[in-house]
Amino acid sequence: MPVPFSQISEKYDIVVIGSGLGGLTAANRLAYCGHRVLLLEHHHRLGGLATWFKRKGHIFDISLHGFPYGMVKTCKKYWNKAIMGSIVQLKNIVFDNPQFSLQTTFDKEDFTHILETVFKIPLSTINRFFTLVSGMNFYDDQSMTTRELFEEFFPGRTDIHRFLMEPITYANGSTLDDPAITYGIVFSNFMNRGVFTFVGGTDKLIGMMADELEKNGVTICTKVKVENIIVEKGRVRGIEAHGKTVTTRAVVSNSGITNTIYNLTDRDAFSDEFLEKAAKIRVNNSSCQVYMGIRDGEKIDDVGDLLFTSTAPEFNSTELLDKETKSKTFSIYYPRTRPGLNRYTIVASMNSRYEDWIKLDDKSYQAEKDALIARSLKDLNRYLPGVAQKIDWTEAATPRTFNRYTLHTKGTSFGTKFEGLDVSRTIFKEVAGLFHVGSVGIIMSGWLGAINYGVIVSNDVDSYLRS
Amino acid sequence: MTSEEIKDLILEIIEDIDDEADFENLNPDEPLRDQLDLDSMDFLDIVMELRKRHQLQIPEEDYPNLATLNSCATYLEPLLRNV
């Protein structure tokens, strides 16, 4: 259970600010290494964007859409075997758009088969493509864009570009103009074995993680928004929150790299050169979601776990970001998602720009949200005819909602573009004892990326504290 | 620690990382990565575990020295001589 902030000690080895999956993992890992860790979260619940909410007996998951198989090993090593044991495959991934409609298990074998038989690509080309993308590393040359990569292997084949790109755009917010490695690394992770989910839902996962943290001695405080990271003579000395100072040698900020630099730390702590690099960071786009709950006792057919749908003629990164995009992903949660709770819920997700939503006054904001819900219901009806009559709860989230709950700059749901990675990785060389963990560089995002990045940063923190 | 003890230590750490790791046909001169299906995160775990157990600081540029079982022993022997 979270501890009241008034009751905590005055000194910790490490303070972790923010409890996204990266922050939670860093806290757990550093406690495992033997350090005294304080975890502070501004919201009343842990998880950051790995979160959920309850309405009318429904539980809606915000970001549980599917992660790569790598989560199994990662959860086993950095959390526990019970968490690992709740991971299961989502076997029915659906694509439906004017160019093609198909079902897949979303792994290399099935993709190879589809590329060969549906899209008529020679096996040798497919194999060369897979060999190239699976060998990509984040430190590789980043001058090639994903668009160039696709054009090299599948010139002019916008249908294949869509098949390969659309799911990854929803997974990490990357576009055809981002470095090809940001595509290749994430795509290869999925192709390894397919798409997986967590049985029991996000609430169960975060609950199990909180138990593990407590077992390992992490002190957790929620509803504590850190105001300031105290830096003296180039070193972290502590943090300030609610008028109280906590002394610490190291801060792991999981509050967004831009928030960490601009809102939590005094500018004087950084060199001009570093601030110049930081100024170039582009945050990734945000999202819109529509949550739909099926009335208790009603059923819907199994039409797939994850549906990548669009009525746009071709894939287009800009179209996907439009406020009235014709493209959306439906995540469908059957009773098997949460055994014991016999409910069906559906979450429609769209990529979205903060700028399009922040400018609206209250009245037009509400009207736009209603229109978003109406469009989602209409699109869902193509797969589940008559579904609207079975739904007893609808609600929309916009970039404003994401900003409000996560405090992310411009409500970003995928962290930053590629340049954010280097700034995040080098911040502790600017300010001794200041570390950042969180979605950066496109590749360190998603549930698996966030957790693994938490481990990578923990290694830096542990090394610093023991030197 | 002797060279043999260091190799045992590395294998013990790898076994903690992956309890299904099969050391039966392990060639000490071939990369551990290929033989035991280890990834870069696993190597980070080895580095962290060595630091935790023996206060060893292994800089990132030295990570390639951990590639094979024998190269681990060669690299770590002077560092763990007094353990």
Q: A420 Cβ partners below 8 Å, 6+ apart?
A: A257, A281, A282, A283, A440, A441
Say yes or no for a CB contact (<8 Å) between B41 and A34.
no
Say how far apart CA A289 and CA A63 lie, in whole Å. 10
A81 and B CB contact within 8 Å? no
The predicted pLDDT at position A254 comes to 97
A144–chain B nearest CA distance, Å: 24
N residues, chain A: 467
Tokens of A137: 């590393």
Cα–Cα distance list, B51 to A163, A254, A333, A466, B69 (Å)? 45, 24, 43, 8, 18
Are the C-beta atoms of B32 and B40 separated by less than 8 Å? Answer: no
Show the CA angle centred on residue A454, arms to residues A85 and A290, nearest 5°.
Answer: 70
Best B20, B40, B48 member to test A by mutation, with max A CBs in 10 Å, is B48
Tell me A145's DSSP state.
B
Residues whose CB is less than 8 angstroms from the CB of residue A116 and which lie 6 or more positions away in sequence, other chains included? A122, A123, A126
3-state secondary structure of A12: strand
For chain B, first and last CA: distance in Å?
6
- Give the closest residue to A340 by CA, choosing from A204, A460, A165, A240: A204
For A332, phi and psi rounded to 5 degrees? -110, 125
A460, closest residue in chain B (CA to CA): B48
Spell out the per-residue pLDDT of chain A, length 467, in tens: 899 999 999 999 999 999 999 999 999 999 999 999 999 999 999 999 999 999 999 999 999 999 999 999 999 999 999 999 999 999 999 999 999 999 999 999 999 999 999 999 999 999 999 999 998 887 777 889 999 999 999 999 999 999 999 999 999 999 999 999 999 999 999 999 999 999 999 999 999 999 999 999 999 999 999 999 999 999 999 999 999 999 999 999 999 999 999 999 999 999 999 999 999 999 999 999 999 999 999 999 999 999 999 999 999 989 999 999 999 999 999 999 999 999 999 999 999 999 999 999 999 999 999 999 999 999 999 999 999 999 999 999 999 999 999 999 999 999 999 999 999 999 999 999 999 999 999 888 899 999 999 999 999 999 999 98
**Contact at CB, B44 and A466, closer than 8 angstroms:** no
Q: Which CATH number fits domain B3-21+31-76: 1.10.1200, 3.40.50, 1.10.3470, 1.20.1740?
A: 1.10.1200
Task: Report the half-sphere exposure of B51 (CA within 13 A, side-chain side).
Answer: 23
In chain B, what are the domain boundaries? 3-21+31-76
* Residue A57, CB-side half-sphere exposure with 13 Å CA sphere: 13
Q: How confident is the model at residue B23 (pLDDT cuts 50, 70, 90)?
A: very high
Q: Can you give the pLDDT at residue A464?
A: 97
| pLDDT value at residue B20 | 87
A231-240 CB contacts, 8 Å cutoff, 24+ apart = A231/A265, A231/A266, A231/A269, A231/A431, A231/A434, A234/A269, A234/A431, A234/A432, A235/A431, A235/A432, A235/A433, A236/A431, A236/A432, A236/A433, A236/A434, A238/A15, A239/A15, A239/A17, A239/A40
Q: Which residues of chain B neighbour A462 with C-beta distances below 8 Å?
A: 48, 51-52
DSSP assignment letter at A337: G
User: What pTM did the predictor assign?
Assistant: 0.95
Residue A261 pLDDT: 97
CATH, range A5-50+203-282+414-465 = 3.50.50.60
Residues of A in contact with B57 (CB under 8 A): 463, 466-467
Cα A383–chain centre separation? 26
